[in-house]
A and B are shown apart, each in its own frame.
Chain A
C-alpha cells in the first residue's frame, strides 16, 4: 500500500521545521512514522507535505539536571525503556515504553510522536499524566509549555496548534519514598491497551501515603486521571484494604464501548488493574 503523494521536507532545526509548518497548513510532522505512516498507507490521512524532524539533533537526547528529567521528542521507546536516567528518575515511563508494540516498533516509535498522536489506547499518555509531565512546545510564534493534564483534548486531539511541534517532555525526578507501576491488559492481536493503569504513590518514613496518582489508557477517548480515587488514598497506610476501597467506587466518565469490549468491562478492568498498579507501586515505594 502506498500513501498518497506528498512533498517531503527535512529541516535541520526546530525553527526551520515550524516555519515550514506555518507555510504549509496541510503539512504533518514525521518523527518515527510508526503511527503516521500506517494511517497514510490506509489513506486515512493524506497530508500534502511531511516535515521530517527525525534528523534534528536538538530533539534526540535525554538529560537530567536539578531534579528534572528532560526527554527530546525524537527519543525512541527503546531508548526510554533502556535509559538508566529514565529508569532512575521516571521508572514508570521506562516501564510503559517497554510495553509498547514489539521490538521493531520500539526502535522507531518516539515519545513526541506518541503523545502528539494521542491514541488513547497507547501506553505513554497515562504515564505522562500520572507523572505530571510538562510538555514543551515550539511554534512559529514562539515557545510555550503545556501540562500533560491540559494536553490531551479529545480522541487523537491535543492542545498543539497546526504550526506547533512538541519538542521536549520534562518530568520531575522521583523522590525518596516514591514507587510507580504500569499494568496493561492488551488486545491480544494488536497489543494496544484495552486498559492500561499507571500509578505513582509516595510514602513518608512511617509508611503513610503523602501523594498518589492513578491514570488510565484505553478506557475513554483520552488518557484520564482518576483523581478522586487517588486523593482518597492520601493519609492512608496504602494497605490492600485501603487500595480496594479507593478503587471500588471509581467510575471513569464516558468509558468507551466498542467491538472489543463494553464500557462496563473497561470500567471493571480499570478497577482491577488500578488496584494492581497501586499495590505494585506501593511495594516499590
Chain B
C-alpha cells in the first residue's frame, strides 16, 4: 500500500508515494540522493542520521517517512547558503572532525542546540550533544567549534 506524502526538503517541495515502513533516513538517502545524512548505529543512539524536522533535531532512522508528511526537513546539504553555515565554518576552523562520519548529524545537532540556547556553557554543550557519538575527536574540538560558532552567530 503506497501512501502519498508531501514535504519540503531543504526548501524544495517533494511529493512521493512511499511504503509506510520507509524510514525518513532512507527516503532522504535513497530516494532523494541526500547522502550527507548518515546511518550509523540504526538504533537511535549515535545521532549520525540527525536532521531538522520542522526546526527540531531528530534521528531520521527512527521516524517513518509518512510521519514527516507535511513537514519541513533540513539536512546537512541545506545548511550552506552560498557560503558555509557558521557552524560548518566553525567545525572547519577548529578541526571539529576527523573521519567525518558523525559530522553531518553532529553539525545539525549543534545548530539545534544554539537555536534553543544561543550562549551555552561548556557543560551545556557537552550535555546537549549526548545524543551524538563521535569516536575520533574526544569531543574537545567539537565543543570549541560550537563555542566559536556561538560567538559568530551572536556577532
Question: Is A105 part of the contact surface with B, judged by Cβ < 8 Å?
Answer: yes
Chain A residues within 8 Å of B26, by CB: 2
Q: Are the CB atoms of B19 and A5 closer together than 8 Å?
A: yes
23 contacts across the A-B interface (CB closer than 8 A): A2-B21, A2-B23, A5-B19, A5-B20, A5-B21, A8-B3, A8-B20, A8-B64, A33-B63, A34-B44, A37-B23, A37-B63, A37-B64, A38-B62, A41-B43, A78-B56, A102-B131, A102-B132, A103-B130, A105-B44, A108-B62, A190-B45, A191-B130
Q: Which residues of B contact A78 (CB under 8 A)?
A: 56
**Bitwise interface map of B from 80 to 105 toward A, beta carbon under 8 Å scored 1, else 0:** 00000000000000000000000000
Is B47 a contact partner of A3 (Cβ separation < 8 A)? no
Q: Are B57 and A103 in contact (CB under 8 A)?
A: yes
**Complex Cα gap A50–B21 (Å):** 10
Other than A8-B20, A37-B44, A104-B44, give 12 A-B pairs with Cβ distance below 8 A: A1-B42, A3-B21, A5-B21, A6-B20, A7-B20, A33-B63, A37-B62, A104-B50, A104-B131, A107-B56, A108-B63, A190-B45
- In the complex, whether A54 has a CB less than 8 A from a CB of chain B is yes
Kindly identify which residue among A41, A42, A50, A103 contacts B20, using a CB–CB cutoff of 8 Å: A50
| Bound: A239/B56 CA distance, A | 44
Report if A38-B44 is in contact (Cβ < 8 Å); known contacts: A103-B112, A103-B113: yes
Please report which residues of chain A, range 37-66, place their CB below 8 angstroms from some CB of chain B when the two chains form the complex.
Answer: 37-38, 41-42, 50, 52, 54
Check B62–A33 contact: CB distance below 8 A. Answer: yes
Q: Report the separation of the CA atoms of residues A201 and B22 in the bound assembly, to the nearest whole angstrom.
A: 47
Query: Does A4 touch B at the CB level, under 8 Å?
Result: yes
Residues of A within 8 A of B (CB): 1-8, 10, 30, 33-34, 37-38, 41-42, 50, 52, 54, 78, 101-105, 107-108, 189-191
Q: Tell me whether B59 and A4 are in contact (CB under 8 A).
A: no
Contact of B109 (CB < 8 Å), options: A5, A34, A104, A190: A104
Residues on A with beta carbons closer than 8 Å to the beta carbon of B20: 5-8, 50
How many angstroms from the CA of A102 to the CA of B109 in the assembled complex? Answer: 11
Given contacts A5-B21, A107-B58, A108-B58, contact A102 B66 (CB under 8 A): no
In the complex, chain B residues whose CB is within 8 Å of the CB of A52: 66-67
Interface size of B by CB at 8 A reads: 31
A191 to B47, CA, bound (A): 14
B36 within 8 A of A: no
Answer whether residue B40 sits at the interface, using C-beta atoms and an 8 A cutoff: no
Residues on the B chain within 8 Å of A191, using CB: 130
Bound-state CA distance A105–B50 (Å) is 11
A189, B128: Cα distance in complex, Å: 16
* Contact of A33 with B130 at beta-carbon distance under 8 Å, contacts A6-B20, A50-B20 already known: no
Query: B1 on the interface (CB 8 Å rule)?
Result: yes
Neighbour of A105 across the interface among B23, B66, B131, CB < 8 A: B131
**Minimum CB–CB distance for A50 against chain B, Å:** 7
Q: Are A104 and B21 in contact (CB under 8 A)?
A: no
Residues of chain A lying within 8 A (CB to CB) of residue B67 = 30, 33, 52, 54
Asked, given contacts A2-B23, A38-B43, A107-B56, whether A101 binds B131 with beta carbons under 8 Å apart, the answer is: yes
> CB distance B64 to A33 under 8 Å?
yes
Name the residue among A5, A34, A37, A78 with the largest chain B CB count within 10 angstroms.
Answer: A37
Closest residue to A101 on the B side, CB-wise? B131
Q: Which residue of A lies closest to B60 (CB)?
A: A104
Report the Cα distance A105→B45, complex, angstroms: 9
A107 to B112, CA, bound (A): 11
Contact with A along B111-134 (1 / 0, CB 8 A): 011000000000000001011100
A104 with B57: CB separation less than 8 A = yes
How far is B20's CA from A42's CA once the two chains are assembled, in angstroms?
17
B51 to chain A, nearest CB (A): 10
How many Å lie between the Cα of A10 and that of B42 in the bound state? 25
Within the assembled complex, what's the spacing in Å between the Cα atoms of A180 and B65?
A: 40
Nearest-neighbour CB distance to chain A for B32, whole angstroms, equals 17
CB distance from B124 to the nearest CB of A (A): 11
